[in-house]
Amino acid sequence: MSEHCIIIGASHAAAQLVSSLRQEGWEGKISLIGDEPHLPYHRPPLSKAFFVGEKTEEDLLIRAADFYVKNNVDLLLGSRVTNIDRDAKKVTLEDGAEISYTKLALTTGARVRKIPFTGSELAGVFYMRDLNDVKQTHKFTGPGKSAVIIGGGYIGLETAASLRKIGMSVTVIETMSRVLQRVTAPEVSAFYTRIHTEEGVDIRTEAGVDAIVGDKHVEGVRLADGTTVAADLVVIGVGVIPNIELAEAAGLTIDNGVAVDEFATTNDPDIFAAGDCSNHYNPIYDRKLRLESVQNATDQAKIAAKSICGKPVAYNALPWFWSDQYDLKLQIAGLSQGFDEVIIRGNSEQGRSFAAFYFCEGRFIAVDAVNRPKEFMMSKRALTTGQTADPVKLADESIEIKDVFN
């Protein structure tokens, strides 16, 4: 059988994997199967630039259509894989077609976590995950209209900022005691609460949702305390779930995602996984991680391509992320979970620029840098090379950030 790599999932990781396979010398056939009818596209702009009409569908494409033609990729978009037969080394599509492979890559990503709120089936209620979701919201947005966002994480806050930008009234409902509680320090949560409040967003924490109300179209959200917030649009953003069902049914090891080693290889030597659906070991933090980020999807896909081409290199990338809200560019390097000390450089209580440095048992582990590109870049370098910093010097802005790390 001639070499054939099938990629399941038309995601960020998939687009990079196609490119990297050819760069690494893969001369066999490549098939890309995706259940959406679209070429792989950038997802971060969905809650930002695309949401408010600043980007078109074509602008979102990770690679233009001719890229796949030049690289001789067989595209099966709008197709769903229903089964992986590891013994026969073939996949079955929803229409019954069977395709054989020599190597298989899972880049299936994640899907939104759905909560069955009463009224969630009403017109005007959306989960923001894919292109079609966002396209359908446009008929419910516009100046003077109102929106309720359920969930005070990054997606919720980015959506709030986008809607305020086009003149909508916005209320954010968060069940926890502060926004971004799972991923940031209290100082960062307080900063974003202040900024959004200054921008006209009504943020309600420790607020439960009783029901989404309306006749055929959403009219509001009734909270657990009995109050109702008016809404022409409701956006629910309460996290995502990795798409692991195909892998699990095929007998691959599952551990909060498709388990892979440092070479992006599953427990089947001919099956690989990368991106949001995979769980890998990170040597920088000495633990297994499942990351939901473009950086991880891209970097891990490069490792998977090397492994598929017989040139294995261990994955050793620092996680980093970003979030754009209003005129704020938040750049995050590292993982702050488990921190026991936070050092603030700048003033998080005034203005729109500061950095929060996270430590655990004296070790520098992460940074949240808001409109602070130098702090982000120096921190990223330090975290990658294992450097640390004196917390006292970090807090002192009279000392150049380049002179803080050692």
pLDDT of residue 48: 83
Distance CA 101, CA 279 (A): 23
Give the CATH superfamily of 4-111+240-308. FAD/NAD(P)-binding domain (3.50.50.60)
Helical spans, DSSP H, in 282-346: 294-308
Burial 293-332 (b: 16+ CB within 10 A, else e): bbbbbbbbbbbbbbbbbeebeebebbbbbbbbbbebbbbb
Query: Hey, where are the domains in the chain?
Result: 4-111+240-308, 125-236, 327-403
Mean pLDDT by 10 residues, the chain (406 residues): 93 97 97 96 88 88 96 97 98 97 97 92 90 88 96 95 96 97 96 98 97 96 97 94 97 97 97 97 92 95 98 95 95 95 96 97 96 96 92 94 87
Check for a shared fold between 125-236 and 327-403: no
pTM for the predicted model, two decimal places? 0.93
Distance CA 173, CA 170 (A): 10
Architecture of domain 125-236: 3-Layer(bba) Sandwich (3.50)
Half-sphere exposure of 244 (CA within 13 A, CB side): 21
Q: Is 77 exposed, middle or buried (0-12, 13-18, 19+ CB in 10 A)?
A: middle
* CA-to-CA dists, residue 7 to 14, 26, 101, 175, 360, angstroms: 7, 14, 10, 38, 39
CATH no. of 327-403: 3.30.390.30
Extended beta strands in 192-267, E state: 202-204, 209-214, 218-223, 228-230, 233-236, 240-242, 258-259
Cβ partners under 8 Å of residue 148, min gap 6: 170, 171, 172, 173, 220, 221, 229, 231, 233, 234, 235
